[in-house]
Amino acid sequence: MWCSCHDLLHDQQFFFIFKWQKEGSEHKRIMFFHPTEETISKQIEVTGMSEAIVNFTNGINSMDCGKDDATSCDFDFRYITSTNSKEIVLVVEKGNFLIGTSFNKKLCTARDYFPHLPTICSLLTNAYNAYKLLYGLLSSRFHTNSSEFKGTLDRFFTPFLHLYRVNKIPLIDLFNGVDFLSVDNLNFLEIDCLIANCIQEFPCIKKGMFFYQERLVQYSVSKKDLAALCQFVVQTLIPSAVQNEVCPPPSAANRRTSIKSARNGFMVDGAMLVDYLGEFTEHFFPKVFLRDSDATHSPLSGYELVAYRVRSATACFFVHENCMTKEKFVEFIENLADFIDEKIAAITSGMGADVSLPIHSDIPYHFIYYNPDSLSLRKSFSTFVIPGQNLPPVAQLPPPNIHRLTYETYDRFASNADVFAQIFLKADNDWWICRNINYSLHSSIKRLKSVGILLVNSLLAKIEDVKPGVGVGRENRRLLRINAFRDEAIERQRAEKPKSKGELERDRLEEGLSNPICSDSKGFKLLAKMGYREGMSLGRRAEEGPRLDSRLTEPIPIQFKADRAGIGLEEDKREKRKDLCEAHMESMRRRAEMEDELACDFRRRKRFAMEQKQLISEIQKLRKTCHEMDTTRSIKKLPDEFWFWPIYSRKKESVEETTDDSEGSVGVKRTKKELSDEDDVPVDELYTYGNGEKAPMAINFYEFDNLGLQESLEKISLYMRQVHFYCLYCGCAFTSSEEMDQECAGTAREDHE
């Protein structure tokens, strides 16, 4: 194939599934983490950071999945971008589980892969949908058997991540579509009737799908399950069936179903499937979980996927699990095979002409066509080249710089479909990136957005819209022709409409001014008498200046004013607009410089606040420890420095002081104001230590600068080391100074890091 793919794990840093629970035992909440050789601390760090970011942004930015955007995610998600990586976190199943992945930027650059965040989000969503298709919801599996839940995730995602491929070509992984095969009306009607007759004949069949080669023709499953289901059928079921056709098993006894040799096809049961996704061999047929309808909150139900292969066609039927016993199920399989074998063989015999060869043109180009309404996805990068065909060479693959440019163009323009209908962008290496949106009326009178991205080497080409289903009828085609004729008639009448008198006068005036002055005019004759000849120039030659030849070779053009404004008013307005624009640009420049200064000042103040907070926290810890050790190890009522111990304050109930007079015993009471003026101490606060001893007023360390705080920290830290052999950063007290010198790394915080 021309499409360039590579292993997902080569660019992926990690992939995890995390269960939201209460705090504690973080390692038990990690359901799956890849690579498995990572340490538990690293796993807790990665998942904890993702959980913290999701919790922090829950109340700030509520993610809108964009219901009108065809490529949007159906889940709440977060983009986390750092210097070295890009990370996506999905919040699924009402916030019970987090699914995240991270891509290393350097590895992606080395492998010429651009990590586009919406594309990575689409890849992560596909991985979750693939698991949900085969095992159902994560929460239901967890509550059913929590002890084996981690083992199930490991059995599925470990091989899945090794086998999952990402496309280097941009936008292919972003559009989660299906490759449809457009067939003629008769063949499609026969296929649709076959599926309907099977559902009517066998009531246990609830849904159906029909594939020809690896392309979908008809389906009746929910559109929300279509992409994941087609991916499973095309990448797992059909290749296993083809391998069984090419290299059949040596003994027919190995088959779980009894296939008659007279039939044209065979049942694709669990024994034929490559058993790399877990539990296929435990089921008679693969078990899948599908929605019952297209509703948003439609529950998942288990179905048995019964597939029948005839030549290049594969018919898939979905039977509700536990609807019949094993004996009846075997009988049902035999009856179904007899019912559809000849019909599918007859249909496939006439479908070969509908499979068109790749379109090769003399104009080399690539295209990606995506229809969000029908989920149709077509691309030129997965075109097979048939050996021996004398076909023109196809276009070369776009270089890596075009990948990045395509993503940037899509993010800036193509995601806003209501503003730009067409985009044409030319790169320096002569590659074109073109985007076109088609607006049409759907059968339900709603707008259909169809996004087409073309990578064109030199010119553009128009591609046809491929939609599954029967074409419009005769009456609809007649109405379309009538509308087309009506539009052509309106345009023709508009072009043939007679001009008004003013338009005719303006046309005659422009025609006259565009022609040179004829030699029969009086003005030309007057100039000829003065020596002028046809083709000469008038005016004086400039001897110096930027214009050495300023003479006129043509008459001065006549400018007619179409409005009633004064002469020179338009030039005055133009100058004013220019001055306003320059003033606005100058204001923006000054604002940008001011923002840079404010940003630097903000970072400086935040850094100072963090350092101040750290120093104060260490001082407070040492003060509490100093008080405990001073009071327990040595009997002290007061500290060596008054601020070495924590100081507590409380309000006084009453403040009165009585003094004795020298001549008698008459008491004199002084008021609070007098005491405050005399002692210069607030009388409403009483400061004490933890042991109840009176203390001076507490120090407000937040009024200190960092230098003062550092000196205070060194002073109390030195006291604790010399007296109690205690180190704050070690968090323990030593028995002697010799032990401290041997065990402690140093006196500063940096020595312990």
Tens digit of each residue's pLDDT (9 = 90 or more) over 291-324? 887 776 778 888 988 999 998 899 999 998 878 7
Reply yes or no on whether the pLDDT at 520 is more than 90. no
Which are the contacts of 673, defined by CB distance < 8 A and separation ≥ 6?
none
Q: What is the mean pLDDT of the chain?
A: 76
**Res 382: pLDDT:** 53
Going from the N-terminus, what domains does the chain have, and what CATH number goes with each?
5-167 (3.30.450.30), 185-354 (3.30.450.30), 373-471 (no CATH), 591-635+706-753 (no CATH)
What pLDDT is recorded for position 543? 55
Counting Cα atoms < 13 Å in the Cβ hemisphere of 477 gives: 4
Mean pLDDT along residues 476-484: 81
The pLDDT of residue 282 is 53
Q: Residue 667 above 60 pLDDT? A: no
Backbone angles phi, psi at 318, to 5 degrees: -115, 115
Sorting pLDDT into bands at 50, 70 and 90, what band is 258? very low
Question: Which residues contact residue 308 at a Cβ distance below 8 angstroms, ignoring those fewer than 6 apart?
Answer: 265, 266, 267, 268, 314, 315, 317, 336, 337, 340, 341, 344
What pLDDT shows up at residue 510? 84
Residue 9, pLDDT score:
58
Q: What pLDDT sits at residue 317? A: 92
Residue 409 has pLDDT above 50, yes or no: yes
Which pLDDT score, from 0 to 100, does residue 586 have? Answer: 92
- Which is more confidently placed, 694 or 384? 694
- Mean pLDDT, residues 263-268 taken together: 84
Mean pLDDT in residue range 147-157: 84
- The predicted model gives 281-289 an average pLDDT of 74
Q: Please state the rounded mean pLDDT for residues 427-455.
A: 55
Which of the residue ranges 122-136, 177-191, 528-542, 613-627 would you say has the lowest mean pLDDT?
528-542
State the pLDDT at residue 176: 81
The predicted model gives 250-257 an average pLDDT of 46
Residue 209's pLDDT band (boundaries 50, 70, 90)?
very high
Q: Show Cβ contacts of residue 139 under 8 Å, excluding neighbours closer than 6 positions.
A: 93, 96, 97
The C-alpha angle with vertex 22 and arms to 20 and 25, in degrees rounded to 5, equals 90
In tens, the pLDDT along 342-393 reads: 888 888 887 766 665 555 555 566 778 888 888 888 887 654 443 444 444 4
Give the pLDDT of residue 79.
86
CB 648 within 8 A of CB 690: yes
Position 503 scores a pLDDT of 84
pLDDT of amino acid 323: 80
What per-residue string of b and e applies to 382-419 under the rule 16 or more CB within 10 Å gives b?
Answer: bbeeeeeeeeeebbebbeeebbebbbebbeebbeebee
The per-residue pLDDT for 579 is 93
In terms of C-beta density within 10 A (0-12 exposed, 13-18 middle, 19 or more buried), how is residue 272 classed? buried
What Rg, from alpha-carbon coordinates, does the chain have?
41
Cβ atoms within 10 Å, residue 494: 8
Q: Is the pLDDT of residue 712 over 50?
A: yes
Rounded average pLDDT over 191-210: 90
Q: What pLDDT, on a 0 to 100 scale, did the predictor assign at position 6?
A: 60
Q: In whole angstroms, what is the distance from residue 108 CA to residue 115 CA?
A: 7
Share of the chain above pLDDT 70, in %: 76
Could you tell me the pLDDT band of residue 438, with boundaries at 50, 70 and 90? low
CB 208 within 8 A of CB 317: yes
Render pLDDT for 630-657 as a digit per residue (tens, 0 to 9). Answer: 888 776 778 888 888 898 887 765 444 4
d(CA 586, CA 330): 82
Beta carbons within 10 angstroms of residue 180's beta carbon? 22
The residue ranking higher by pLDDT, 513 or 723, is: 723
Instruction: Check pLDDT > 90 for residue 578.
Output: yes
Dihedrals φ, ψ of 372, to 5°? -70, -20
CA distance 346 to 340: 10
Q: Is residue 140 pLDDT above 80, yes or no?
A: yes
Question: Is the pLDDT reported for residue 103 higher than 90?
Answer: no
Q: Which of 62-66, 490-494, 551-555, 702-706 comes out lowest in average pLDDT? A: 62-66
In 3D space, the residue among 72, 111, 103 whose CA is nearest the CA of residue 87 turns out to be 103
Which residue stretches of 374-420 are H helix?
A: 400-409
The answer on pLDDT for 720 being more than 50 is yes
Q: Which 8-state DSSP code applies to residue 407?
A: H
Q: What is this structure's pTM?
A: 0.55
What is the pLDDT confidence band of residue 456, given thresholds at 50, 70 and 90?
very low
Residue 452 has a pLDDT of 42
Q: In this predicted structure, what is the pLDDT of residue 665?
A: 36
DSSP 3-state helix, strand, coil percentages of the chain (rounded to 5)?
40, 20, 40
pLDDT tens per residue across span 29-81: 888 888 888 888 888 888 888 888 888 887 655 444 433 343 444 678 888 88
Higher pLDDT: 358 or 127? It is 127
